[in-house]
C-alpha cells in the first residue's frame, strides 16, 4: 500500500458515558476511496467528524501529508484540503447553482470604487465543472437548487469541493436518500474524482454501494474497528456478519461462545 495521505492513529473519543470510538486507526492512501461501514451507533459519524475538525479526539493522532496535524475546526480542516460534504447541510435551496457553488468564496472584480461579483466567471466555472464531473442533466448554473434532484445536488457539492482544491473529500451517506439510478451516478462521480487523484472517504449503510468503488473497506462495530479489507479481498457475507455482530462466527455457533 502506498504511503497514506490521511491517517488517524489510535483514536478514542468519549461522549459522557458513551465510548464512541475505541483505539481506532484508519489510513487513506492517496487517490483511493475508503468506505466506512457499520451499523447505527458504530462510530462512523464520530470518526469522520473528527477528520472534518468538528470534534476533537480524546486521544490519538491525525497525520496528513506526513505531518501530525491538529484539526481544531472545520475551517482548519478545509484549509488543509479536507472537505466534508454533508448531505443535508451542503446547499442553500433558494439560491442558484452558481451562487451556491461560490458561496463564501465569491470571485469579484473591481468596477470603479466597488468590488462587483464576477457572475460571468461564476457561471462559466460552475458549468464547466458540472460538465467535467459528467453531469449532463444540468446545462445552466442559473437553476435554483430546490429544483434539482438529490443526485444533482451531490454532484454540485462534489464539483465544488474539487474546484476549491480538496485533497480529501469526506462524504457522509452520499447515497442514502437517492434512487438506485441516482445513487449509481453519484458512485460514478466518486470514482471519477478519485481517478483524478482526489482521495475520498465515504460512509454508507448500503453495502452494494461499497464494492464497486471502495479500495479499502473499514468495518466499525460499537466504536471498535473489527475489520479492514482491500478491494477484492472482501467476502460480502463476512463483512455483513462483522457489521451486525462484530465477529465472523456463524450465527448458529455465536450463542455458544
From 34-42, 96-104, 128-136, 213-221, span contacting other proteins (CB under 8 A): 96-104
Go through 50-74 and write b for each residue having 16 or more CB atoms within 10 A of its CB, e for each that does not: bbbbbbebeebebebeeeebebeee
Identify the residue whose cell numbers are 430546490: 146
| Strand pairing class (168-172; 82-86) | parallel
Asked if 21 and 12 touch (Cβ cutoff 8 Å), the reply is: yes
Residue 93 burial by CB count (10 A; 0-12/13-18/19+): exposed, middle or buried? exposed
Residue list 115-154, contact with other proteins (CB under 8 A): 115-117, 119, 142, 144, 146-147
Under the criterion CB under 8 A, does residue 55 sit at the interface with other proteins? no
From 5-13, 111-119, 174-182, 223-231, span contacting other proteins (CB under 8 A): 111-119
Asked if 210 and 229 touch (Cβ cutoff 8 Å), the reply is: no
CB of 214 to other proteins, least distance (A): 26
Of 104, 112, 255, 256, the one binding other proteins (CB under 8 A) is: 104
Of 69, 80, 108, 207, the one binding other proteins (CB under 8 A) is: 108
Q: Which is nearer to other proteins, 39 or 144 (CB)?
A: 144
Q: Which is nearer to other proteins, 115 or 237 (CB)?
A: 115
Cα separation, 155 vs 190, in Å, equals 9
Q: Which is nearer to other proteins, 91 or 226 (CB)?
A: 91
Contacting positions for other proteins (CB under 8 A): 74-75, 78, 86, 89-95, 99, 102-106, 108, 114-117, 119, 142, 144, 146-147
Amino acid at each position: 500500500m502506498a504511503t497514506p495521505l490521511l491517517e488517524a492513529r489510535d483514536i478514542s473519543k468519549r461522549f459522557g458515558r458513551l465510548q464512541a470510538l475505541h483505539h481506532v486507526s484508519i489510513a487513506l492512501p492517496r487517490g483511493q476511496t475508503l468506505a466506512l461501514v457499520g451499523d447505527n451507533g458504530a462510530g462512523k459519524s464520530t470518526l469522520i467528524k473528527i477528520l472534518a475538525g468538528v470534534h476533537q479526539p480524546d486521544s490519538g493522532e491525525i497525520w496528513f501529508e506526513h505531518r501530525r496535524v491538529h484539526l481544531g475546526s472545520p475551517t482548519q480542516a478545509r484549509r488543509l484540503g479536507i472537505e466534508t460534504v454533508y448531505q443535508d447541510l451542503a446547499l442553500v435551496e433558494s439560491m442558484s447553482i452558481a451562487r451556491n457553488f461560490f458561496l463564501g468564496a465569491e470571485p469579484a472584480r473591481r468596477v470603479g470604487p466597488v468590488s462587483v461579483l464576477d457572475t460571468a466567471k461564476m457561471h462559466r466555472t460552475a458549468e464547466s465543472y458540472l460538465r467535467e464531473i459528467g453531469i449532463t442533466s444540468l446545462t445552466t448554473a442559473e437553476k435554483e437548487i430546490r429544483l434539482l434532484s438529490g443526485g444533482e445536488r451531490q454532484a454540485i457539492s462534489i464539483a465544488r469541493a474539487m474546484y476549491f482544491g480538496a485533497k480529501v473529500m469526506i462524504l457522509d451517506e452520499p447515497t442514502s436518500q437517492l434512487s438506485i439510478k441516482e445513487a449509481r451516478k453519484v458512485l460514478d462521480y466518486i470514482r471519477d474524482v478519485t481517478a483524478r487523484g482526489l482521495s475520498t472517504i465515504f460512509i454508507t449503510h448500503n453495502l452494494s454501494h461499497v464494492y464497486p468503488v471502495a479500495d479499502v473497506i473499514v468495518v466499525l462495530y460499537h466504536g471498535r474497528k473489527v475489520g479492514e479489507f482491500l478491494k477484492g479481498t472482501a467476502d460480502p457475507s463476512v463483512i455483513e456478519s462483522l457489521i451486525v455482530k462484530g465477529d465472523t462466527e456463524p450465527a448458529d455457533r455465536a450463542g455458544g461462545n
